[in-house]
Amino acid sequence: MKTKILIIIFFLIAISTKSQYISFDELIALQKKDLTEINDFLTIRGWDFSNSEEATETTLNKAIWAFGRTEWEEGKAQAWFYLFAKEGNENRIIYQIHNRINYNKIFARIKTLGMKKVKSVILNNTIYSDYEGKNYVVRILQSSEENESVTSY
């Protein structure tokens, strides 16, 4: 009986981890999708819509989803997905995670695709590194919140 319970717990943890993780290839594919398709993709995986802002003359529409949001600390979640979009422009996506394993998977895929680092900067407690591929540029950010031991990728 204990073995069955442990197997179920490990299975649920594996499903939860898989739901949070979005692969590099999925991120690239999502960049070409519309808002409804992105919302469906994230909702099926257990992400919750958080909020949105309408575009202005100088900004893009913004929609935000959270995965594993904590109920006791506002603004805290296991992962965040930001979509910036405007008719006639390519979507921009920010995928914020606090999981080194998933970060390493994405970074390994960037290297496998032969993307070259073109720029690296440190600014406001964040390391920005830009990698250029054949069709796009990817910006990797690593930051740490002041007085916290959580690293964002």
**99-141: pLDDT as tens digits:** 888 889 999 999 999 999 999 999 888 888 999 998 888 888 8
Residue type, 131: Y
pLDDT band, residue 143 (cuts 50/70/90): confident
Q: What is the pLDDT of residue 61?
A: 92
Query: CB count, 10 Å around CB of 81?
Result: 26
The more confidently predicted of residues 8 and 44 is 44
In this prediction, residue 77 carries a pLDDT of 85
What is the 8-class DSSP label of residue 73? S
- According to DSSP, the residues that pair with 140 across neighbouring strands are 129
Query: Cα(23)–Cα(65) distance, rounded to whole angstroms?
Result: 16
The span from the CA of 152 to the CA of 146, in Å, is 12
pLDDT for res 145: 66
Q: Shortest CA distance to 79 belongs to which of 62, 91, 65, 92?
A: 65
The confidence score (pLDDT) of residue 151 equals 53
- Report in angstroms the alpha-carbon separations of 99 from 29, 53, 129: 22, 27, 18
Share of the chain above pLDDT 70, in %: 80
CB-count burial class (<10 Å; 0-12, 13-18, 19+) for 125: exposed
The pLDDT of 85-112, averaged and rounded, is 87
